[in-house]
Structure 1
Amino acid sequence: MSTRASETFDPALLAVLSNRFDAIVREMTNTLLRSGRSAVLNMARDFSCTIVTGDNRLLAAAEGLPVHISGSHLQTAAMTELHPEYREGDAYLHNDPYLGNTHHADHTILAPVFVDGEHLFTAVAKAHQADAGNSLPTTYMPFTADIYEEGALSFPCVKVQSDYRDIEDVIRMCRRRIRVPDQWYGDYLATLGSARIAERRLKELAAKYGSEVLKAFVEEWFDYSERRMRHALSQMPSGRYIGSGTHDPIPAVPDGIPVKVIVEIDAEAERATIDLRDNIDCVPAGLNQSEATAINNVTTGLFNVLDPDIPHNAGTFRRIDVLLRANCVVGIPEHPTCCSMATTNVADRLINATQSAFAEIGDGWGLAEGGNGMGIGWGVVSGADWRRGGAPYVNQLIIGSNGGPAGPTCDGWLTWALPCAAGLLYRDSVEVDEQKYPIHVESLNIVTDGGGAGEHRGAPPARIVYGPKHDPMTVAYVADGRLNPPRGVRGGLDGHPSYAALLDLDTGVEQELPTLGQREVGPRERVVGIDAGGGGYGSPLRRDPASVLHDVVEGWVSRHAAEEIYGVRFTGSDSDDTLAVDAGATETARGSS
């Protein structure tokens, strides 16, 4: 560990500059949120911004989605390798999963930032697209065997601006192939604007403090971050911890996709090694991880069980080794392997397997598994809006709600969304979705008894019902967790399984749908979906009876489950506000269990 910078760098200035870089990333984020055109950006915030050093080390990420950010340096490395003549005013469009990107739907703008002719930083803005030119109107293609069948436009770090001006050939390619060209171009401008805002602010920062101060700060900030990570790892019990899970079966993989994560903690050496090599080869489907997502997701699982205040940057990553192999479903994919869904499903399984592995240590360690996969409430809807002249529309809805995992000190978050987002995605406004697109949301409710029971309870999922207002609509969804729901740990119970169905409004009959699929929905039909609930942590018989009472009153837990699973007995009625815990009867009931 270097002590050079720490001996000379003012600690107060270190704090000021670390927060200043963070503030720049937050301004990038606000720019994209406020100016993005599609709902998936300007409501759901499915994008992330980072700052990377000129020599390709992740420096600042603020509130970027975990699945997006840790591989930013892989993308900037592709830029510096493929374009050695890059210069000020250039910008690059990069969505290639074989060169450090997540998946084709995440269009990333890379803008090198120069100070006095020196490339000091690269601004990185990554935004999920409502449509990426796939062969079907969805950015998630679970059933495609390779990228040719996937059909997405692929930009392996292609220059899209020179001297701050668009290269029109690239823009024309996108407008020709993407179903909603004006919406895409608006989102492109928002992403580009986010990167250019960072460029402007970084130049202002360099003008104020000087490039030499900023370079010294970078080294000290990385050293400080490494010290924090070393300390955290030194406090963990050394050992080898194994986490596992299985993605539900799909036609191309009828036995499902097993995932195995081996984590070795060496407290004395203050290192963590995460080995993913003991997994199956890539599968002929879109569920394979890209290199970036494989790394992002297991490091996310590790960070989830550490002090949340530890910075997430290249200094921290010095203490983590992630072992991958080529042609592995959770490793390094080889062209033309399809990674269309690299940011969810198997990605979520990786995070769950990593964080739950630490529960092997004992009480107080690890997390349960959180709700995973994107069900009906996360569907990509498309069609023609004949009320607006037959204009095509494509957008991903984010109005579902997976339940968060319980931990050793708290219940799961209701706002968890997905393991790969960890509460950082926003949920759509139903009213705005209904204004922008020809859909109608019939209902959205929390599922009673949906969270895995435990001393700390997993969060319940949501049940959603929606469909088209007038004309047929296509809904593509990629749920997981119907056969293999999120698991509890340390005696906690599993979360509610996912569910998808098609409701006939005339007959009232619900026809269950496959785990993943695409379905045309008519005006007299509705899709019905239940996301997966979070797993519980610890025995339900250890849960505070007052917390059980609260859950019953709120409708999150039924009185039947409170009595049968939690062993809590009550007096009074939940219909007239007289419900109360019978402490003596509860103690007796729990003692006999």
Structure 2
Amino acid sequence: MTALDPAGVSLAGPRPDDFTPVDVDPITLRVIGGALNSIAKEMAQILYRMAYSSLIRESEDLGAGLFDVNGRELCESDSTPMHCGSIPAYIRGINRKLAGTYKPGDVILHNHPYHGAAHSPDYGIMIPIFFGGRHIGFAGCTGHVSDIGGNFPGLCMDVVDVWAEGKLMDAVKIYDGGVRNTALIQHILDNVRTPEQNAGDLEALIACSRLGEKRFLELLDRYGYDTVMSAADKWMDYSEDMLRRRITEIPDGVYEAPLSYLDDDGKNRDVPLKVSVRVRVEGSDIVVDLTGSHGQVPTAFNVPFEGSVLPTVASAVRTLLLDEALTEEFVPQNDGCFRPAKAYAPEGTIFNPDFPASCFARFSQINRIFDSINLALSDVLPERAVAGSSAALCAIAYSGLAEDGQSYWVYIEINEGSYGARNGKDGLDCVDSLMANTRNNPIEELELNHAMIAERYELRDEPPAPGRYRGGIGSVRKWKMLTDTFIGSEADNRTDPPKGLAGGHDGLAGSFTRNAGTERDEPLYSKVTQEKCAAGDTLEIKLPSGGGYGSPFEREAAQVLDDVLDDYLSVADARAHYGVALTGSGRALAVDEAETARLRAAV
């Protein structure tokens, strides 16, 4: 990648000059805006309902939308922000090779992380849309497939370079002018361990984009190209204007997040990786500067700058400043939300690695960027900022040789962390946070299809981080292996726990433990490459719990009592951390008002 402008790089693209702007009345503007949103949502529905792999079908680890010829996002699905936000970069990646060659009926497959892809397991399918004989845009989608070949099944961590991750498709036409390249598709499927799942996912991705193409053409037929694109332009300008208004409310300056550290790189154990985040506000622009973060590493624990860092910065800024719960006006997610947000990361660092460094496992790092942006702005956005969240996507791949001896079974699950508390609300428990937004993988599916049994899946036993508003509680899962099973993980246990805000306590780190609670109890690192669990072994996964917000001694005593009754806290926790004394027992517990007042006055 060429050197980056120190002023920052934005994800937004230029407006095409192939349509004539026209005035669009407010009603038509609303109708077209609603149609665009509906199209993106319907595309996502097709994708996750048709997909074969659990990660797309159950976790909804996908993104879909419509884009103009330069990759400007017209609309996106309500799914994973990482997937949706990266698609403009996919389009720029394929345009660099195929611009000027597109034909009706083309279908392009792309997953090259140094040319726009979020990372190589995220297959992107782009279909160029033609109207009136002109190429006027793309329908596109992405989804994380179960396996792409490479050194190890499902997820890989300790790999030498980007080629070792698996088969790279760099702007490949799998349909050329409507003609299916069956030999190429078969070649791709012959080089993965899960050909049936990948074939089903590929067809689902194609169907998703084709539906987007069909619906967009129907919209163009009804209202005309100039009207639709003029309306889309107005919506993008509106979103940009709304976001810039919020940015200008922040005083100009540089805001620095507390330094945080990722556990390790998956190979050099107990060597933490520094994450340094500064947020510079200048008028209506925000630049997130990652200078000072750790240099690139010799494993897969690097992050594609264009396909992963930029969407993370844009999503964090939009989420903080246009929170739907605090914003009365409807503000659609589109290219306008990308324009004020820029990012800078020096080359040769984990957030902008030099080719051909592997960058397969990048989600814990980008979640940490999001979390750090939030913490950096917490003093100037006290009503919006959230205490530290788990910010460590825990993706684990379980795998083994299939019964036919010709392929592998591979199952990738996303374990749920938690959000930190915010001013006015407790943190959300057992939920995927920040850039992921995936659903939980139901334990029934894995038990039904693979030789594993869930012995436990619930909230962690440890109490939540104390605060006027308590932190969210992470999940704990415990699997028992019924056969020898390989495990790959790209998680982060948060050896520096999520930060509390405004006097709230820090959250809790996570852990991986083999055979927990037995004489063979063995802690594991958060990142493992083909770790073997023998038949009869168990694996316990605890996800981090988020930080608290505000002084615990300001929490309503009645809320503390409710937490005790709900088994979040013990009576001793209530007294020690909240200054709340309780009398009675069982469901007859009550607040001892006098003793509580004495305890809190003594602080």
TM-score when scaled to structure 2? 0.91
Aligned to 1:230: 244
Q: How far apart are the structure 1 equivalents of 2:405 and 2:297?
A: 42
Aligned residue type for 2:135: H
Asked whether the equivalents of residues 430 and 474 of structure 2 are also in contact (C-alpha less than 8 Å), the reply is no
1:136 to 146, 152, 167: 152
- Aligned-pair distance for 1:71? 2.6
1:581 to 585, 588, 591: 591
Asked whether the equivalents of residues 504 and 525 of structure 1 are also in contact (C-alpha less than 8 Å), the reply is no
Q: How far apart are the structure 1 equivalents of 2:442 and 2:187?
A: 32
- Give the secondary-structure state (helix, strand or coil) at the position aligned to 1:327: coil
Aligned to 2:290: 276
Superposition pairs for residues 433-582 of structure 1, below 5 Å? Answer: 433-469=446-482, 471-503=483-515, 508-517=519-528, 518-573=530-585, 575=586, 577-582=587-592
Asked whether the equivalents of residues 35 and 187 of structure 1 are also in contact (C-alpha less than 8 Å), the reply is yes
- Aligned-pair distance for 1:362? 6.6
Aligned to 2:398: 381
Q: How far apart are the structure 1 equivalents of 2:66 and 2:569?
A: 44
The yes-or-no answer on 1:168 pairing with 2:182 is yes
Aligned to 1:370: 389
- Aligned-pair distance for 1:311? 3.0
Distance 1:426 1:165, change over 3 A: farther
Q: How far apart are the structure 2 equivalents of 1:280 and 1:428?
A: 32
- Aligned-pair distance for 1:527? 0.6
Aligned to 2:102: 86
1:345-371 Cα shifts (integer Å, max 9, x gaps): 111111111111111337435221211
Asked whether the equivalents of residues 313 and 341 of structure 2 are also in contact (C-alpha less than 8 Å), the reply is no
Q: How far apart are the structure 2 equivalents of 1:103 and 1:475?
A: 20
2:170 to 146, 156, 161: 156
The yes-or-no answer on 1:221 pairing with 2:231 is no
Asked whether the equivalents of residues 466 and 526 of structure 1 are also in contact (C-alpha less than 8 Å), the reply is yes
Aligned residue type for 2:601: G
The yes-or-no answer on 1:413 pairing with 2:428 is yes
Q: How far apart are the structure 1 equivalents of 2:406 and 2:93?
A: 41
Aligned to 2:79: 64
1:530-551 Cα shifts (integer Å, max 9, x gaps): 1111111222122222222222
> RMSD across aligned C-alpha pairs, in angstroms?
2.2
1:237-286 Cα shifts (integer Å, max 9, x gaps): 333211132101343374311111111223xx322222223333322121
Asked whether the equivalents of residues 111 and 199 of structure 1 are also in contact (C-alpha less than 8 Å), the reply is yes
Q: How far apart are the structure 2 equivalents of 1:15 and 1:579?
A: 54
Asked whether the equivalents of residues 430 and 475 of structure 2 are also in contact (C-alpha less than 8 Å), the reply is no
Aligned to 2:10: none
Asked whether the equivalents of residues 24 and 198 of structure 1 are also in contact (C-alpha less than 8 Å), the reply is yes
- Unaligned runs of 5+ residues in structure 1 are none
Aligned to 1:202: 216
- Aligned-pair distance for 1:556? 2.1
Aligned to 2:3: none
Q: How far apart are the structure 1 equivalents of 2:312 and 2:424?
A: 23
Asked whether the equivalents of residues 449 and 558 of structure 1 are also in contact (C-alpha less than 8 Å), the reply is no
- Aligned-pair distance for 1:589? 1.1
Asked whether the equivalents of residues 287 and 343 of structure 2 are also in contact (C-alpha less than 8 Å), the reply is yes
Distance 1:409 1:303, change over 3 A: farther
Q: How far apart are the structure 1 equivalents of 2:455 and 2:117?
A: 37
- Aligned-pair distance for 1:482? 4.4
Aligned to 2:11: none
1:76-116 Cα shifts (integer Å, max 9, x gaps): 12222211211111011111110111101100101111111
- Aligned-pair distance for 1:476? 1.5
Q: How far apart are the structure 2 equivalents of 1:90 and 1:42?
A: 25
Superposition pairs for residues 1-400 of structure 1, below 5 Å? Answer: 8-83=23-98, 84-139=100-155, 141-148=156-163, 150-243=164-257, 244-250=259-265, 251-252=267-268, 254-266=270-282, 269-291=283-305, 292-309=307-324, 310-331=331-352, 333-342=353-362, 344-361=363-380, 363-375=382-394, 378-386=395-403, 392-398=408-414, 400=415
- Unaligned runs of 5+ residues in structure 2 are 1-14, 325-330
Q: How far apart are the structure 1 equivalents of 2:406 and 2:455?
A: 24
Distance 1:92 1:478, change over 3 A: same
Deviates more, 1:107-116 or 1:245-254: 245-254
1:470-525 Cα shifts (integer Å, max 9, x gaps): x21112222313422222122221212111111179x5542111221142112221
TM-score when scaled to structure 1? 0.92
Deviates more, 1:183-192 or 1:292-301: 292-301
Asked whether the equivalents of residues 452 and 480 of structure 2 are also in contact (C-alpha less than 8 Å), the reply is yes
Distance 1:501 1:253, change over 3 A: closer
1:147-187 Cα shifts (integer Å, max 9, x gaps): 24x33111112111113332123212221111110111011
- Aligned-pair distance for 1:415? 4.6
- Give the secondary-structure state (helix, strand or coil) at the position aligned to 2:388: coil
Distance 1:258 1:560, change over 3 A: same
- Aligned-pair distance for 1:58? 1.4
Distance 1:568 1:199, change over 3 A: same
Asked whether the equivalents of residues 247 and 256 of structure 1 are also in contact (C-alpha less than 8 Å), the reply is yes
- Aligned-pair distance for 1:582? 2.3
Q: How far apart are the structure 2 equivalents of 1:111 and 1:390?
A: 33
Deviates more, 1:295-304 or 1:452-461: 295-304
Asked whether the equivalents of residues 450 and 496 of structure 1 are also in contact (C-alpha less than 8 Å), the reply is no
Asked whether the equivalents of residues 358 and 367 of structure 1 are also in contact (C-alpha less than 8 Å), the reply is no
Deviates more, 1:111-120 or 1:189-198: 111-120
- Give the secondary-structure state (helix, strand or coil) at the position aligned to 1:373: coil
Asked whether the equivalents of residues 6 and 220 of structure 1 are also in contact (C-alpha less than 8 Å), the reply is no
- Give the secondary-structure state (helix, strand or coil) at the position aligned to 2:277: strand
Deviates more, 1:217-226 or 1:98-107: 217-226
Deviates more, 1:158-167 or 1:352-361: 158-167
- Give the secondary-structure state (helix, strand or coil) at the position aligned to 1:348: helix
1:407-465 Cα shifts (integer Å, max 9, x gaps): 122111225313321xx311122112211222111111211335322122111111111
Q: Which runs of structure 1 show a deviation greater than 6 angstroms over 4 or more consecutive aligned residues?
A: none
Asked whether the equivalents of residues 21 and 227 of structure 2 are also in contact (C-alpha less than 8 Å), the reply is no
Distance 1:138 1:207, change over 3 A: same
Q: How far apart are the structure 1 equivalents of 2:589 and 2:22?
A: 62
Aligned residue type for 2:396: G
Q: How far apart are the structure 2 equivalents of 1:7 and 1:227?
A: 20
- Give the secondary-structure state (helix, strand or coil) at the position aligned to 1:297: helix
Aligned to 2:9: none
Q: How far apart are the structure 2 equivalents of 1:306 and 1:143?
A: 38
Q: How far apart are the structure 1 equivalents of 2:516 and 2:555?
A: 41
Q: How far apart are the structure 2 equivalents of 1:40 and 1:298?
A: 24
- Give the secondary-structure state (helix, strand or coil) at the position aligned to 1:315: helix
Q: How far apart are the structure 1 equivalents of 2:576 and 2:109?
A: 56
Asked whether the equivalents of residues 504 and 524 of structure 1 are also in contact (C-alpha less than 8 Å), the reply is no
